[in-house]
Amino acid sequence: MTSLGFGRRACGPILANARQSRGSRFPMPSTTAHATAGRRASSSSNREPIDVAFVGLGNMGAQMALNVAQNKKGDGLPHVRLGVHDLNPSNVSSFLRRAEEIEGLEDAATISVSKDLAAVGGSNPDFVIASLPTCEASEAVVSDIVRSLPAETSDGGKRCVFVDTSTISPSVSKTLHEFVTSTSPLRDYVDAPVSGGVKGATDATLTFMVGCSSPETFSAVQPLLRRMGKGVLSCGESGAGSAVKLCNNLALAAQMIGICEAMNLGEALGVDPAALAGAINVSTGKCWSSEVNNPHPEAARAIGSGASANGYEGGFGTALMLKDLNLAVDAGEEEGLALPVAGLSRDLYRIASLHGYADKDFGVVLEFLKGKK
Out of 73, 158, 174, 245, pick the active-site residue.
Answer: 245
Percent helix, strand, coil in the chain, to 5, is 50, 15, 35
> Which of 203, 295, 206, 286 shows the shortest CA–CA distance to 245?
206
State whether residue 207 is helix, strand or coil: strand
Find the helix packing angle between 240-268 and 273-280, rounded to 10°.
Answer: 130
For residues 163 and 206, give the distance between their C-alpha atoms in angstroms, rounded to a whole number: 15
Burial of 335 (0-12, 13-18, 19+ CB in 10 A): exposed
In what helix (H) or strand (E) does residue 82 lie, and over which residues does it extend?
strand 80-85
For residues 29 and 86, give the distance between their C-alpha atoms in angstroms, rounded to a whole number: 14
Q: For this structure, is 245 an active site residue?
A: yes
Distance set, CA 370 to CA 155, 263, 264, 367, 373 (Å): 66, 11, 7, 5, 9
For residues 125 and 143, give the distance between their C-alpha atoms in angstroms, rounded to a whole number: 15
Pairing of strands 110-113, 80-85: parallel
Residues forming the active site: 245
